[in-house]
Chains A and B, each alone.
Chain A
Amino acid sequence: MLLRRDLLKVMTLGSLAAGFPGLMFARADTETRLVVIILRGAMDGMAMLAPYGDGNYARLRGPLALAPPGHEGGVLKADGLFGIHPAMEHTHSLYLQKQALFVHAVATPYRERSHFDGQDHLESGSSNGYFKRDGWLNRALQPLAGHDGNESAIAISQNTPLLLRGSQPVTSWAPSRMPDAEDDTLIRLQSLYANDPFFAKRLRQALDSQEIAGGMSGSRQGRGNQQKQMEELMKATAKFIAVPKGPRIAVLESGGWDTHARQGAASGSLANKFASLDKGIAVLQQGLGDVWSKSVVMVITEFGRTARVNGTGGTDHGTASAMLLAGGAVNGGRVIADWPGLSASNLYQDRDLYPTTDMRSIFKGLLAQHLGLQERFLDKSVFPDKKPVQMTNNLVNLQLV
């Protein structure tokens, strides 16, 4: 039943979106906006925000280590310890304008390493996976009723991610054409087909003929495709949430972050992902126009990756990662990190970045400071742990609320 209802919603909104006459700006539109981008597959936080100033970093990361600022392929300087991945130039410029903020060594309470369970924790906001069937952002919607009976949140996705599922009505939209499969999925299919000549031969032929094979090794063509898809979604997101009485919260998903092999450093497949995320944020900012000043884009992932490089030029499932907040409303230009350090004894189980910040303290801070929700409500209904979740303060420029 759920499937059917969601599908119908997708249809209605699809036609609605077509009717939006470009960008319409608010006259008395004071509402803040929140865009959440879920990176599925466990984004390598130490690649997005490299602790180049940590004495153990270069040794630990080996071929994946990014050079210090000012060197060829070097990170874009955030501060004396951290640098932003060189593919994220726009984000760096936002950082310099104090419109981007990073949090490092951050994780959900989940300490295993399964993507599915990790994403359930990330999106349900639970400390034990207990309330698995609804998302913390949906639970937070109750005081944020939309205008004229419209939903206050939209999933820019073919289905509604767990983060937005629950008793509060939300809407969704996705481009009507069949989306391309992620390159990473095709690579995994190739290995799944390896022992079955019938399938293996045909997939190889198909990829050859579509020149997708080139894209997989990081050529321009493949990157172009992915980037286009991300841009298209961001453009649509901007259209939906810029409208004064439309939804004020949007959730997007991006796959292909599970970089077990040949992830590359300053360039390569992961660098391409960062570039496309970076471009997507720029497109969103442009599309939002004035509304950008009231907006926060939050980029999150289920967990981090191993501190050390593995045998195939990639990284395996880890624990703590990094997150990004960008937007005109963000109190940015800084990195929030209780940095645990990278010496062997400081690593979690001698392999992962040690988590020092509960990701939910950022969620809670944003819900309170950016969306104006009461802390009591958040403790009771959104993160109902026995011991209240901490809250990180000063995430946004409060005068804008």
Chain B
Amino acid sequence: MNIYPAIAANRFGLGARPGELEQLHKDPESALLAQLGGPSAKPAELSQLPRSDAVLAEVLQIRQAQREAKKKAGDNPGSRENRKYASVVRSHYVDQVGARVRHAIQTDYPFHERLVRFWSNHFAVSADKQPVSALAGLFENEAIRQNLDGNFYKLLLAVETHPAMILYLDNERSIGSGSMIANAGKRRRREQRSLGINENLAREILELHTLGVDGGYTQADVTAFAKVLTGWSIGSDRGRFRAGRPGAFLFRENAHEPGSQVIMGERFQQHGFDQGAAVLQKLAMDTSTARFIATKLVRHFVADKPPAEMVDRLTNVYLDSGGDLPAVHAALVTSKEPWQQPLSKYKTPEEFVISTYRAFDYAPDRAKNVIGALEQMGQMPMRPGSPEGWPDTAEQWGGADALYKRIEWANAMALFTGSRLNPLEVGKSALGANFSTQTHKAIARAESTVQGMTLLLASPDFQRR
């Protein structure tokens, strides 16, 4: 077998399962292109999860009850309500991580799944902020997964209006100083302090989601865009902000800064929600955005130092197609570079763990063990810690201790499979032509299947994609 099925399964996919290389063998390029649309039905593992609005309404209600209990009982951090909130949030998080991991292990559309993960990392909401941890996996399913079939604007709009993003970047209480709420508040002086604009979402959209940090925007653009986004909020059924459906996106007309705004030299005169949507549309089709996204995609799929020619090609495809994601994703596959470059990408811990399970054709029931292992290796699932998301170069993942943790985990997995799996067979079915003679030899000489499997999983062949 030639090298191409191994490239298709490992560089574009999530690691080969037994039999996958044979399936890809005939025409790897077409097989990848056929995955672009994703599965036709909602994957079983994911369809069991609740919707984000229901989850958010639930946890907000618990938090509200907690606040009320606190008021009554004085400051008592160990109260039952407090613990309940943490445990409910945690159990949503664990369920979502488990479903996400099992789906990635089992999916027959690994290229599509890798794209889903690329984009949810591009639009990272980090689960270390409460109550975002109860929503991060749902955000990926609702905002990302369903919107890779159209243009970038459609995806962008879905992301920026998802409650997880609104909460993560603090836009739910961003209120224009000229809005109806602010004007009403000015009459009641004591409230003035808590009302105002929050720039966080606007800044990160420009810096991380669209143009990139050097994309040519100024602080004035950030401020103006933040005003545009005032009122992009979440529904609530209690208190002074009672409006809309609890836990769902809500445009609050009365929090929105009225009037036109100038961003990147263009005046936006639309009213209400349409104003923000128009800005997103402009940003989506900016040359800086096209280049920023093309660079990130090529870095993710091909090499830490993205080949310039390929970045140019994808930038042009992006601009020519109106930001059409299937066209851009297809251009990754039809480019020559991914098929020529050596597999140089150092797998992230998640990629390492998922590709191991795929090689074993085994999906663990208990997410807690996977979460624990990934935390040890430095990639607590869905918790990159910042809106920038996880890094995408070997240098940033390449700590000595992190490698040692991978070796320890590889050894633990090898002890777990014991002699039930033959490491030479697993190596062949997972790595194909990329299984080096050196690694093959080392495994054949190993003193036990456990040692052989440890060597396979820890080998440079297996740890790169």
- Contact surface of A with B, Cβ cutoff 8 Å: 2-4, 7-8, 40-42, 114-116, 119-120, 123, 157-162, 165, 174, 178-182, 184-186, 188-189, 191-193, 195-196, 198-199, 201-207, 209-210, 253, 255-258
- Contact surface of B with A, Cβ cutoff 8 Å: 346, 360, 362, 364-365, 376, 394, 398-401, 403-404, 407-409, 411-412, 415-420, 422, 438-439, 442, 444-452, 454-455, 458-460, 463
The answer to whether B399 and A256 touch across the interface, beta carbons within 8 angstroms, is: no
Given A180-B408, A209-B401: A196 touches B460 (CB 8 Å cut-off): yes
The answer to whether B420 and A181 touch across the interface, beta carbons within 8 angstroms, is: no
Given A159-B417, A182-B451, A255-B451: A4 touches B408 (CB 8 Å cut-off): no
Given A42-B447, A206-B400, A206-B404: A181 touches B411 (CB 8 Å cut-off): yes
Residue from B346, B365, B412, B438 in contact with A158 in the complex, judged by beta carbons closer than 8 Å? B412
Q: Is the interface of B mostly helix, strand, loop or mixed?
A: helix
Residue from A3, A184, A195 in contact with B417 in the complex, judged by beta carbons closer than 8 Å? A3
10 A-B interface contacts by CB (under 8 A): A3-B417, A4-B362, A41-B448, A158-B415, A188-B455, A192-B455, A192-B459, A202-B404, A204-B400, A205-B400
A182: nearest chain-B partner, CB-CB: B451
The answer to whether B419 and A119 touch across the interface, beta carbons within 8 angstroms, is: yes
Which chain A residues lie closer than 8 Å to B400 at the CB level? 201-206, 209
The answer to whether A179 and B422 touch across the interface, beta carbons within 8 angstroms, is: no
Residue from A8, A120, A158, A184 in contact with B447 in the complex, judged by beta carbons closer than 8 Å? A184
Which chain B residues lie closer than 8 Å to A205 at the CB level? 400
Residue from A116, A123, A185, A201 in contact with B454 in the complex, judged by beta carbons closer than 8 Å? A185
A212: nearest chain-B partner, CB-CB: B404
Please give me the 6 A-B residue pairs with the lowest Cβ-Cβ distance, nearest first. A41-B447, A159-B418, A258-B447, A205-B400, A206-B404, A158-B415
**With the chains together, A180 CA to B407 CA distance in Å?**
9
The answer to whether B418 and A255 touch across the interface, beta carbons within 8 angstroms, is: no
The answer to whether B438 and A257 touch across the interface, beta carbons within 8 angstroms, is: no
Residue from A3, A123, A186 in contact with B407 in the complex, judged by beta carbons closer than 8 Å? A186
The answer to whether B451 and A159 touch across the interface, beta carbons within 8 angstroms, is: no
The answer to whether A158 and B416 touch across the interface, beta carbons within 8 angstroms, is: yes
Which chain B residues lie closer than 8 Å to A7 at the CB level? 364-365, 416
Residue from B346, B451, B459 in contact with A185 in the complex, judged by beta carbons closer than 8 Å? B451
What distance in Å separates the Cβ of B465 from its nearest Cβ neighbour in chain A?
Answer: 14
**With the chains together, A167 CA to B6 CA distance in Å?**
37
**With the chains together, A165 CA to B417 CA distance in Å?**
13
Given A41-B448, A119-B448, A189-B458: A179 touches B412 (CB 8 Å cut-off): yes
**With the chains together, A258 CA to B447 CA distance in Å?**
6
Which chain B residues lie closer than 8 Å to A161 at the CB level? 418-419
Given A40-B448, A184-B451, A186-B407: A157 touches B418 (CB 8 Å cut-off): yes
The answer to whether B448 and A203 touch across the interface, beta carbons within 8 angstroms, is: no
**With the chains together, A208 CA to B394 CA distance in Å?**
21
Which chain A residues lie closer than 8 Å to B403 at the CB level? 199, 202-203, 206
The answer to whether B415 and A159 touch across the interface, beta carbons within 8 angstroms, is: yes
**With the chains together, A161 CA to B365 CA distance in Å?**
22
Which chain A residues lie closer than 8 Å to B459 at the CB level? 192
Which chain B residues lie closer than 8 Å to A42 at the CB level? 447
Given A120-B419, A202-B400, A206-B403: A255 touches B448 (CB 8 Å cut-off): yes
What distance in Å separates the Cβ of A232 from its nearest Cβ neighbour in chain B?
Answer: 14
B408: nearest chain-A partner, CB-CB: A178
Given A42-B447, A178-B412, A202-B398: A160 touches B455 (CB 8 Å cut-off): no
**With the chains together, A203 CA to B455 CA distance in Å?**
13
The answer to whether A198 and B447 touch across the interface, beta carbons within 8 angstroms, is: no
The answer to whether B420 and A3 touch across the interface, beta carbons within 8 angstroms, is: yes
**With the chains together, A28 CA to B362 CA distance in Å?**
45
Which chain B residues lie closer than 8 Å to A184 at the CB level? 447, 451
Which chain A residues lie closer than 8 Å to B362 at the CB level? 3-4
**With the chains together, A209 CA to B397 CA distance in Å?**
18
Which chain A residues lie closer than 8 Å to B418 at the CB level? 157-162
What distance in Å separates the Cβ of A304 from its nearest Cβ neighbour in chain B?
Answer: 13
What distance in Å separates the Cβ of B5 from its nearest Cβ neighbour in chain A?
Answer: 23
Residue from B404, B411, B446 in contact with A210 in the complex, judged by beta carbons closer than 8 Å? B404
A4: nearest chain-B partner, CB-CB: B365
What distance in Å separates the Cβ of A252 from its nearest Cβ neighbour in chain B?
Answer: 12
**With the chains together, A209 CA to B404 CA distance in Å?**
11
Which chain B residues lie closer than 8 Å to A158 at the CB level? 412, 415-416, 418
Which chain B residues lie closer than 8 Å to A257 at the CB level? 447
What distance in Å separates the Cβ of A85 from its nearest Cβ neighbour in chain B?
Answer: 19
Which chain B residues lie closer than 8 Å to A196 at the CB level? 460
**With the chains together, A203 CA to B403 CA distance in Å?**
7
What distance in Å separates the Cβ of A300 from its nearest Cβ neighbour in chain B?
Answer: 14
